[in-house]
């Protein structure tokens, strides 16, 4: 049970919901407190305005008659109280109290609450007041607010007019309203939490798919991918995961291919070496021949391993060392090196079109790729055949080609010539020293530069290999 609770709490969905509830609960408490404060402030302001309005009416009555000399109403405070009480009706929970000569005189209602009874403590307190004042008191029987106005006839103090408002009922109504608001907000919180739980589950569903895919990954199955529609961080995470899986799958594929290639290609020379060593006798001439054959096979194995290592490195980001290369000078160097490989009818084309042109690439790797194509051409041509090297540039492409007039490549072999260890039925497709990796190395180098390699060939008329690189000048 404890482990289940720990597992449940550790889930992102649960933590999101808990923090959502905490945030919403805190917001609800703050909101209810703000609403309560606002309602009570508005209540106090409304009660105060109402009381001052009643007092203004009484003052107008008093001032009107006080301005008339000899007016009996101005001289007789009791008559003034009687006239006002007969003309005005207070609002609910509001009462008029009149004090004459320090004693309770009359009130606006005969059914006064206990708090305002003539013998009550509050009335006794009001009988002692001689100044205008506004006060708010909390008593055991409720909240009251009173406003006093002293009455003078000439210089003589005669009494006090008091407006009393009992706010207990209104405050209870506010409290009931707050209880109702609190209940509504709690229900809203519950419903919102359920919706948040469901929404979090929907949002985090790709993470569950990610976890499931990660658990299902094995060395033999790296094909798992996450399919998500939409946008946002989760979509970005899924895309990142899928990209990572693509790289892992490619890396494992390259690793398996490298292992398979090594096992396949080294088995034959190892068998040859072992067979000759086992059959080698005591004759010195036979021993020399066996040793020469073994050394030749070992050299071929070393060349093969170097080619395989190069193909493996071509998949790495740091495979190239890019720099600006003067294309005209590069082609002149390649032409000079090509002429030293074998006696052929050599030709260099397009130098005028690439004068002062610079390209962005790895000089060493590009030289290696072109020389592999040249070597391949020499292996399928005769001394009387023509081999042309050339280059051209457009707004978007840099083209470098090796063209020969040799035996050409059969159509059925052309789709496979760039595969590792591929050899055509007519044996036109060969790499360095016949390893079957030369054209695969060329393709890897060109792909690392972001380019492609094209082939045009017909049996009996020759072949043209064209390296196409992006023009990044």
pLDDT tens digits, the chain, 473 residues: what are they?
A: 566 666 666 677 788 888 888 998 999 999 999 999 999 999 989 999 999 999 999 888 887 765 444 555 445 788 888 888 888 888 888 999 999 988 999 998 878 888 888 888 888 888 888 889 998 887 777 788 999 999 887 778 889 999 999 888 888 889 999 999 999 999 999 999 899 888 888 877 777 777 776 777 665 667 777 676 666 676 777 788 788 888 877 777 767 776 776 776 677 678 778 887 777 777 888 788 788 888 877 887 787 777 777 777 777 777 888 999 999 999 999 999 999 999 999 999 988 888 889 999 999 999 999 999 999 999 999 999 999 999 999 989 999 999 999 999 988 888 888 887 665 554 444 443 456 778 888 999 999 999 999 999 998 899 999 999 998 76
Number of domains in the chain: 3
Mark which of 313, 346, 361 sits at the end of a domain. 313
DSSP conformation letters of 88-123: ----TTEEEEEEETTEEEEES-SS--GGG-TTSHHH
Residue 18 lies in a domain: yes
As given in the structure block, the two tokens for residue 431 are 């790499």
Q: Do 344 and 407 fall within a single domain?
A: yes
Residue 204 lies in a domain: no
What is the 8-class DSSP label of residue 419?
S
- Quote the pLDDT of residue 427: 47
Residue 378 lies in a domain: yes
Q: Do 326 and 284 fall within a single domain?
A: no
As given in the structure block, the two tokens for residue 64 are 């009107």
Q: Do 149 and 37 fall within a single domain?
A: yes
In 280-326, alpha helices (H): 284-313
Triad 174, 176, 180: Cα angle to 5°: 115
Cα separation, 372 vs 159, whole angstroms? 122
Looking up residue 127, the CATH number of its domain turns out to be 3.30.450
As given in the structure block, the two tokens for residue 115 are 């708090």
Cα separation, 462 vs 444, whole angstroms? 23
Q: Do 29 and 168 fall within a single domain?
A: yes
Cα separation, 26 vs 21, whole angstroms? 8
> What are φ and ψ of residue 63, in 5° steps?
-70, -35
Residue 196 lies in a domain: no
Q: Do 25 and 161 fall within a single domain?
A: yes
The 8 Å CB, 24+ separation contacts for 446-451 are: 446/369, 447/314, 448/314, 448/319, 448/320, 448/362, 448/365, 449/320, 449/361, 449/362, 449/365, 449/366
Q: Do 245 and 116 fall within a single domain?
A: no
Domain that holds residue 33: 12-173
As given in the structure block, the two tokens for residue 118 are 């003539």
Q: Do 344 and 421 fall within a single domain?
A: yes
Q: Do 37 and 129 fall within a single domain?
A: yes
Q: Which of 178, 174, 180 is nearest to 44 (CA)?
A: 174
Cα separation, 384 vs 356, whole angstroms? 33
Residue 6 lies in a domain: no
Exposure of 303 in the CB half-sphere (CA atoms within 13 A):
15
Looking up residue 281, the CATH number of its domain turns out to be 1.10.287.130
Cα separation, 18 vs 40, whole angstroms? 33
Residue 214 lies in a domain: no
Q: Do 166 and 275 fall within a single domain?
A: no
Mark which of 272, 298, 313 sits at the end of a domain. 313
As given in the structure block, the two tokens for residue 395 are 């707004």
Q: Do 297 and 339 fall within a single domain?
A: no
* Residue 424 to residues 82, 334, 420, Cα–Cα distance (Å): 128, 27, 12
Q: Do 265 and 380 fall within a single domain?
A: no
Residues 6+ apart with CB under 8 A from 350: 331, 390, 391, 392
Q: Do 80 and 27 fall within a single domain?
A: yes
As given in the structure block, the two tokens for residue 345 are 């009818």
250 close to 316: Cβ distance less than 8 angstroms? no
Residue 456 lies in a domain: yes
Residue 207 lies in a domain: no
Cα separation, 66 vs 166, whole angstroms? 31
Cα separation, 175 vs 71, whole angstroms? 49
Exposed / middle / buried, residue 147 (Cβ in 10 Å: 0-12, 13-18, 19+): buried
Cα separation, 434 vs 453, whole angstroms? 20
Partner residues linked to 386 by β-bridges: 345
Q: Which of 364, 336, 351, 381 is nearest to 449 (CA)?
A: 364
* Residue 402 to residues 334, 345, 390, Cα–Cα distance (Å): 11, 13, 7
Cα separation, 429 vs 426, whole angstroms? 8
Looking up residue 330, the CATH number of its domain turns out to be 3.30.565.10
Mark which of 313, 340, 356 sits at the end of a domain. 313
> What are φ and ψ of residue 429, in 5° steps?
-95, 105
Cα separation, 186 vs 386, whole angstroms? 90
> What are φ and ψ of residue 392, in 5° steps?
-150, 160
């Amino acid at each position: 049970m404890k482990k289940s609770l720990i597992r449940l709490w550790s889930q992102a969905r649960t933590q999101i919901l808990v923090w959502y509830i905490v945030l919403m609960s805190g917001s609800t408490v703050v909101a209810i407190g703000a609403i309560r404060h606002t309602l009570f402030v508005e209540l106090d302001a409304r009660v105060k305005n109402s009381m001052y309005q009643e007092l203004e009416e009484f003052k107008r009555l008093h001032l009107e008659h006080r301005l008339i000399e000899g007016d009996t109403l101005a001289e007789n405070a009791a008559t003034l109280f009687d006239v006002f009480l007969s003309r005005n009706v207070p609002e609910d929970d509001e009462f008029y109290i009149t004090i004459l000569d320090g004693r309770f005189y009359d009130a606006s209602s005969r059914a006064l609450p206990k708090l305002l009874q003539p013998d009550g403590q509050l009335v006794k307190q009001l009988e002692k007041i001689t100044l205008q004042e506004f006060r708010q008191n909390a008593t055991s029987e409720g909240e009251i607010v009173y406003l006093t106005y002293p009455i003078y006839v000439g210089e003589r103090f005669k009494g006090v007019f008091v407006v009393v408002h009992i706010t207990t009922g209104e405050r209870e109504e506010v409290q009931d309203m707050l209880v109702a608001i609190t209940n509504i907000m709690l229900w809203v919180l519950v419903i919102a939490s359920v919706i948040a739980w469901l929404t979090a589950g929907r949002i985090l569903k790709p993470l569950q798919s990610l976890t499931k895919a990660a658990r299902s990954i094995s060395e033999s199955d790296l094909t798992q991918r996450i399919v998500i529609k939409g946008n946002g961080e989760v979509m970005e995470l899924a895309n990142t995961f899928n990209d990572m899986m693509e790289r892992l799958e490619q890396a494992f594929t390259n690793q398996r291919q490298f292992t398979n290639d090594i096992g396949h290609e080294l088995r034959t020379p190892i068998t040859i070496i072992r067979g000759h060593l086992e059959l080698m006798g005591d004759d010195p001439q036979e021993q020399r021949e066996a040793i020469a054959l073994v050394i030749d096979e070992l050299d071929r194995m070393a060349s093969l391993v170097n080619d395989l290592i190069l193909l493996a490195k071509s998949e790495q980001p740091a495979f190239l060392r890019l720099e600006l290369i003067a294309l005209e000078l590069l082609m002149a160097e390649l032409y000079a090196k090509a002429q030293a490989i074998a006696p052929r009818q050599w030709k260099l084309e397009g130098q005028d079109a690439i004068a002062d042109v610079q390209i962005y690439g790895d000089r060493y790797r590009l030289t290696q790729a072109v020389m592999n194509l040249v070597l391949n051409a020499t292996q399928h041509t005769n001394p009387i055949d023509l081999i042309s090297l050339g280059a051209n540039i457009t707004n978007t492409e840099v083209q470098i080609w090796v063209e020969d007039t040799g035996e050409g490549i059969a159509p059925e072999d052309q789709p496979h010539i760039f595969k590792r260890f591929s050899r055509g039925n007519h044996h036109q497709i060969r790499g360095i020293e016949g390893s079957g990796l030369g054209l695969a190395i060329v393709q890897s180098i060109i792909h690392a530069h972001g380019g492609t390699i094209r082939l045009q060939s017909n049996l009996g008329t020759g072949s043209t290999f064209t390296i196409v690189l992006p023009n990044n000048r």
